[in-house]
Amino acid sequence: MKKLFTLFFLISVTLSAQLNIENLTGKAFANNYGYYMLEKVCDLAGGRLMGTPQNELGFEILKKQLSDNGLSSYYEEFTSPIWYRGDDKVLLTVPYKKELRATALAYSSPAKIEQGKVVYVFSGYEVDYSGIDAKGKIVVISQTRPKGREELLRGEAIKIAHKMGAVAALFINEAKGGKVLCGVGNFKGTPLPIPAFSLTNEEGNKLKRLLENGDQVLMDINSNSYVKTGVSKNLVYKFEGIKKEKIVIGAHFDSWDLGDGAIDNGHGSAVIFEAALLLNKLGCKPERTIEFVWFNGEETGLWGSKKYVEKHKNDSIYAMFNLDMPGKVNGYNVMGFDHLIPAIKEITSKSGSYDLSSIMSTAWTNSDHMFFMFEGIPVLTPTGGMTKEMTEHYHDFGDTFDKVDKDYISHGAIAVAFLANGLSHSDTAYKRASQAEVIKLLKDHNLESRLKKQEEYPF
């Protein structure tokens, strides 16, 4: 009897370990759970900038959709700087009156400038100011990098402008078509020394032309955006395994507020939602716990993931998988944590003709995996791209649900579910990189200097 029971137990563990790719793909494509969840979030809550009622509402919709499917989730609160966008206006007054299409960069502070003189300071490097009196002026900055110069982050250009005595900085967006491209003025969440805005390529270049032709340009700037410390939250759904070790599957749920954050990162949020549902509905029994986390505040400085790592860094996190704008997933990037490659190859060799065989190992930063990586926790991202139509409205008005492709979401969900289930049963031992190994990884993947520029190099 005992033998029979053991045999039955072994068969059932093996069955759940080998998640059936046919059942998985069938269930995913027949239901497109993530797509329909995202439609509700985008249409009923809209863009989800941390600190806004839309962000709160979006989380409630997501939480309810999980519970409607029998999955009980919970919030983890954290305290961080929160940037509140005000009713900001950049008004051209000379040579003619027009409110420009401009968006304040996050951490821009209140300002009231009347009839401010505008000057063009090329790409905003310190040498670009030679012969220009920027004192008390509004500076217009091109974001085209002259050949041979090191990258200049917007935060660095703002600091230089302030040092030169400027009272506001206006960046010309590189993409055409009336796009303003939201972004942060720094990664620290501290108030910017002067207000900073992103302008459209078209209006920015008109200002540049006027100024290069010697015409006078004057502006009024009225801004009441501000930064304040406050409480926000991540949403967690824990799929309990039998081991203490866990796999974190993360996606940022917050977004910029001009559009609906459908692609960045409603897409990733929907992918992990669908993966969580698929694993449950197909009766998977993970060995390692799989924790699904919808992070907040990624766009304004990775606050949710940073705070999660601070709280959980002593947990046995086997791997972290970050889904930020996943495309049509065809494999995985192990981001320099190469010890996972054999395990991933073994798992994906069982995905039949559903091709997940692409493997790369190129580390990158500035998304939610970054603080996990600094702690030596193995991080992964999916490979496989999106179409131009999906990505070209990134951080802008056009990031709306009509760009979302339901098949891409289900593709991603299958890839996530298959890998998470496989890794939860993998024989590859838990391993965390030492500080020396992380330092080497950041150096080997050319990440060190950029992290230092953005003042986030951790060592």
Which residues in this chain contact Zn ion in the complex, by CB under 5 A?
A: 264-265, 324
Nearest to Zn ion of 265, 381 (CB atom): 265
User: DSSP 3-state assignment of 445?
Assistant: coil
Residue 387 C-beta: closest distance to Zn ion, Å: 17
Nearest to Zn ion of 142, 381 (CB atom): 381
Residue 6 C-beta: closest distance to Zn ion, Å: 47
244 φ, ψ (degrees, to nearest 5): -75, -30
Residue 106 C-beta: closest distance to Zn ion, Å: 14
Cα–Cα distance for residue pair 395/299, rounded to 1 Å: 9
Cα–Cα distance for residue pair 250/331, rounded to 1 Å: 17
Q: For residue 381, with 0-12 CB atoms within 10 Å meaning exposed, 13-18 middle and 19 or more buried, which class applies? A: buried
Residue 144 C-beta: closest distance to Zn ion, Å: 24
Nearest to Zn ion of 264, 375 (CB atom): 264
| Residue 1, both tokens | 């009897």
Residue 437 C-beta: closest distance to Zn ion, Å: 27
Residue 324 C-beta: closest distance to Zn ion, Å: 4
Closest residue by Cα to residue 118 from 54, 210, 56: 210
Nearest to Zn ion of 88, 324 (CB atom): 324
Q: Can you say how many angstroms the Cα of residue 130 is from the centroid of all Cα atoms in its chain?
A: 37
398 φ, ψ (degrees, to nearest 5): -85, 5
Nearest to Zn ion of 181, 344 (CB atom): 181
Nearest to Zn ion of 97, 388 (CB atom): 388
| Residue 214, both tokens | 């010697």
429 φ, ψ (degrees, to nearest 5): -75, 155
Cα–Cα distance for residue pair 416/274, rounded to 1 Å: 9
Cα–Cα distance for residue pair 382/115, rounded to 1 Å: 49
Residue 251 C-beta: closest distance to Zn ion, Å: 9
Q: Could you identify the residue written with the tokens 């939480």?
A: 63
Nearest to Zn ion of 260, 264 (CB atom): 264
**CB-based contact 275:382 (threshold 8 Å):** no
Question: Which residues, 6+ apart, have CB-to-CB distance to 256 below 8 Å?
Answer: 47, 49, 182, 264, 299, 395, 396, 399
**CB-based contact 356:333 (threshold 8 Å):** no
Residue 185 C-beta: closest distance to Zn ion, Å: 18
Residue 252 C-beta: closest distance to Zn ion, Å: 6
Residue 360 C-beta: closest distance to Zn ion, Å: 19
364 φ, ψ (degrees, to nearest 5): -140, 170
Q: For residue 148, with 0-12 CB atoms within 10 Å meaning exposed, 13-18 middle and 19 or more buried, which class applies? A: exposed
Nearest to Zn ion of 116, 268 (CB atom): 268
Cα–Cα distance for residue pair 33/176, rounded to 1 Å: 35
| Residue 381, both tokens | 């991202």
Question: What value does the CA radius of gyration of the chain take, rounded to a whole number of Å?
Answer: 24
Question: Which residues, 6+ apart, have CB-to-CB distance to 450 below 8 Å?
Answer: 151, 365
Residue 415 C-beta: closest distance to Zn ion, Å: 18
Q: Could you identify the residue written with the tokens 């609160």?
A: 77
Q: For residue 1, with 0-12 CB atoms within 10 Å meaning exposed, 13-18 middle and 19 or more buried, which class applies? A: exposed
